[in-house]
């Protein structure tokens, strides 16, 4: 009895010495969850995508040669999706970085401002799409105002096309990038700005030489995340765009194939979506790897 107890203790300490503690078992439910709800569906979907018209990679070939039964231009949607997601993520950043930088020290009313900024995010894309249709549509307020002021002679086409979807994507994506950037900007040690200004740097020089380099890692992360968000766009593209042609996006193709029972094609489209995102993310993180990523503090606090 005593020996076995001792042995058991030895085994225990052997396990602990390798950095495993009994608490490790607490991750088990999480691992199970991942396997059941993430890894299994991914493998299932991957497997399904290889069961196209004539098996193997035929579903992928069909995608790239535009031979899906319910989509005449499936390959084109890959470029459409990228053409929507990349600029919208970029525009969000270009808007969010300077505003977050200005607000990094906190300004009177910054809470109210963040609340207002967050509203489009909480309302959801359908609500935003409806609002934009009434505001920017051919008979919307903006066009009526511009016509009334004689600034234009026929309504601007801001909805039902590429522009409409891009505006909607920027509007829903901006709060997200802004909040992320505000966090990064507020994390920069304020004494660095003060040190730079005493050394002779004006506000512009401080932004370009101190704050922007320290924000770059955060900028890349924000870009990556808002790109991923915009890439899966579906409601905005359908409601504000023209999903029969110019703003037909990948998720729409997948939806179309899926709802017509063509699961292999839908899965192949989903895999292509994932790979396209991964390629963009890989490029972003490759750039990020070459940047300074250390602390944003100027020394002991």
Partner 1 sequence: MNLIAGLLEPTAGSIWLDDVRLDHVPPEKRDFGMVFQNYALFPHMSVADNVGFGLSLRRVGKAERRERVQKALDMVQLGSQAAKRPSQLSGGQQQRVAIARAIVTEPRLVLMDEPLSNLDAKLRIDMRTEVRLLHQDLGLTTIYVTHDQAEALSLADRLVVMREGVVQQTGAPQEVYESPDNIYVAAFVGYRNAIDGRVGRDGRIDIGDASLVVADAGDRLGGAPHAVAMVRPDDVTIAAADAAPGEARANAIPVTVRVSEYQGRVFAVEAQTAGGTTVFGYSETLLQPGTAAVASIAAESIRVYGEDAPHGAARAAAAEAELAASGVPA
Site string for partner 1, 200-239 (x = CB under 8 A): xxx--x---xx--xx-------------------------
CB of 159 to partner 1, least distance (A): 44
189 vs 246, beta carbon nearer partner 1: 189
Q: Binder to partner 1 among 192, 221, 274, 281 (CB under 8 A)?
A: 192
168 vs 214, beta carbon nearer partner 1: 214
Confirm or reject binding of residue 147 to partner 1 (CB under 8 A). no
CB of 192 to partner 1, least distance (A): 6
Confirm or reject binding of residue 300 to partner 1 (CB under 8 A). yes
Confirm or reject binding of residue 295 to partner 1 (CB under 8 A). yes
Stretch that binds partner 1, among 80-88, 160-168, 190-198, 260-268 (CB under 8 A): 190-198
The 3-state secondary structure of the chain reads CHHHHHHHHHHHHHHHHCCCCHHHHHHHHHHHHHHHHHHHHHHHHHHHHCCCCCCCCHHHHHHHCCCCCCCCCHHHHHHHHHHHHHHHHHHHHHHHHHHHHHCCCCCCCHHHHHHHHHHHHHHCHHHHHHHHHHHHCCCCHHHHHHHHCCCCCCCCCCCCCHHHHHHHHHHHHHHHHHHHHHHHHHCCCHHHHHHHHHCCCCHHHHHHHHHHHHHHHHHHHHHHHHHHHHHCCCHHHHHHCCCCCCCCCHHHHHHHHHHCCCHHHHHHHHHHHHHHHHHHHHHHHHHHHCCCCCCCCCCCC
CB of 210 to partner 1, least distance (A): 6
Stretch that binds partner 1, among 145-153, 169-177, 184-192, 255-263 (CB under 8 A): 184-192
Residues at the contact surface with partner 1, assessed by CB under 8 A: 189, 191-192, 194-202, 205, 209-210, 213-214, 292, 294-301
């Amino acid at each position: 009895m005593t020996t076995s107890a001792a042995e058991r203790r030895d085994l225990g300490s052997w396990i602990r010495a390798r950095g495993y503690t009994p608490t490790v078992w607490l991750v088990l439910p999480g691992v199970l969850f991942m396997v059941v709800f993430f890894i299994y569906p991914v493998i299932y979907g991957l497997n399904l995508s290889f069961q196209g018209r004539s098996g193997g990679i035929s579903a992928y070939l069909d995608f790239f040669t535009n031979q899906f039964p319910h989509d005449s231009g499936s390959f084109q949607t890959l470029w459409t999706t990228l053409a929507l997601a990349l600029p919208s993520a970029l525009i969000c950043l270009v808007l969010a970085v300077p505003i977050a930088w200005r607000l990094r020290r906190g300004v009177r009313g910054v809470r109210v401002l963040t609340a207002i900024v967050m509203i489009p995010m909480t309302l959801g894309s359908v609500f935003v799409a409806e609002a934009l249709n009434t505001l920017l549509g051919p008979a919307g307020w903006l066009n009526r105002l511009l016509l009334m002021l004689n600034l234009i002679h026929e309504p601007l086409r801001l909805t039902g096309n590429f522009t409409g979807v891009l505006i909607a994507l920027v509007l829903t994506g901006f709060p997200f990038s802004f909040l992320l950037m505000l966090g990064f900007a507020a994390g920069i040690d304020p004494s660095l700005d003060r040190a730079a200004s005493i050394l002779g740097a004006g506000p512009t020089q401080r932004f370009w030489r101190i704050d922007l380099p320290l924000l770059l890692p955060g900028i890349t992360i924000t870009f990556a995340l808002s790109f991923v968000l915009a890439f899966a766009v579906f409601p905005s593209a359908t409601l504000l765009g023209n999903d029969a042609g110019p703003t037909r996006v990948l998720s729409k193709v997948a939806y179309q194939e899926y709802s017509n029972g063509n699961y292999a094609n839908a899965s192949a489209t989903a895999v292509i979506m994932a790979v396209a995102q991964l390629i963009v993310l890989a490029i972003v993180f490759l750039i990020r790897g070459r940047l300074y990523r250390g602390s944003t503090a100027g020394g002991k606090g």
